[in-house]
Amino acid sequence: TVSESGSGNGAKSLINGSCDVADMSRFMKPEEFEAAVAKGVTPVAHVVAVDGIAIVVHPGNPISDLTVDQVRDMYMGKITNWKEIGGPDKKIILISRDTNSGTYETFEDLVMKKEKVAANAEYVGSNGAVRARVQSTPAAVGYVGLGFVDRTVKALRVNNILPDRDTISSGRYPIARPLYMFTNGYPPMGSHVYGFVTLHLTPTGQEIVESIGFVPVTKYGG
């Protein structure tokens, strides 16, 4: 079975032995490794894909390009109205992933640079929930993994670079991250878990990775 609950809960599940594979959009924290070792678990990371985090707005928003600094200033509450950056006279509604998610932590690291998100930001529990909130709210801004971008929202250029497979695989898009699978030790060759965590290296696995909007690790940096 597969369940979606955020990277932090994935780590907890591996540590308490309730899963064979923990999918995480960030690396395990030192305290998570310590907790794992204390329970006799040896986390092993498998990088399976590369993802870009897209800054998304309502399709009706005329803004098409922001800098990383502008995104940070919006989420810090320094920029509070779209008219301040060339948009309509509407108060910006900030949508964020919950703080337990790897998406949030990557955004915090690459965009916020450890600055605090404004107190009026709305936190939601999944990338899909961010997208749904943005698509129904003309003044909203949010951030989602590239695989969650569709026609219901508009992905913005960041530093004049649009998030897509080419810009992410080349390393030009500034908000990108590796995606991991963690196992307890390296799985035995021939086991079901081994086949699962190495699938991304096969032609079939690479097609699957691309079909859901991620960049295969075999193409990163190309």
Residue 2 forms part of a structural domain:
no
**156 and 56 co-located in one domain:** yes
pLDDT in tens, 24-82: 988 999 999 999 999 999 999 999 999 899 999 999 999 999 999 999 999 999 999 99
Is residue 58 domain-shared with residue 41, that is, in the same domain?
Answer: no
In a domain, 154, yes or no: yes
113-138 pLDDT per residue, tens: 989 999 999 999 999 999 999 999 99
Give the CATH number of the domain where residue 192 resides.
Answer: 3.40.190.10
Claim to verify: residue 155 and residue 192 sit in the same structural domain: no
> Is 149 in the same domain as 108?
yes
The answer to whether residues 127 and 203 belong to one domain is no
In a domain, 1, yes or no: no
Same domain, 129 and 20: no
Q: Residue 26: give the domain boundaries.
A: 7-49+177-219
Do 161 and 181 lie in a common domain? no
| Long-range contacts of residues 119-125, Cβ cutoff 8 Å, at least 24 apart | 119/77, 120/77, 120/94, 121/75, 121/94, 121/95, 121/96, 122/93, 122/94, 122/95, 122/96, 123/96, 123/97, 123/98, 123/99, 124/95, 124/96, 124/97, 124/98, 125/6, 125/97, 125/98, 125/101
Domain end, chosen from 169, 186, 211, is at: 169
Question: Looking at the structure, do residues 32 and 60 belong to the same domain, yes or no?
Answer: no
Could you tell me the pTM of the whole model? 0.78
Give the pLDDT band of residue 97 (cuts 50, 70, 90).
very high
- Let me know whether 129 and 213 are in one domain: no
pLDDT over threshold 90, residue 12: yes
d(CA 63, CA 92): 12
Q: Are residues 147 and 108 in the same domain?
A: yes
- Banded pLDDT at 177 (limits 50, 70, 90): confident
Residues 87 and 161 in one domain: yes
Angle subtended at Cα 171 by Cα 169 and Cα 173, rounded to the nearest 5 degrees: 100
Which residues lie closer than 8 Å to 213 by C-beta, 6 or more apart?
A: 51, 145, 146, 147, 148, 149, 165
Work out the end-to-end distance of the chain between its first and last CA atoms, rounded to an integer number of angstroms: 34
Domain assignment of residue 65, yes or no: yes
The predicted structure's pLDDT at residue 3: 67
Same domain, 127 and 111: yes
How many domains does the chain divide into? Answer: 2
Mean model confidence pLDDT for the chain? 93
Q: Report yes or no on 197 lying in a domain.
A: yes
Last residue of a domain, one of 150, 169, 188: 169
Chain centre to alpha carbon of residue 209: 15
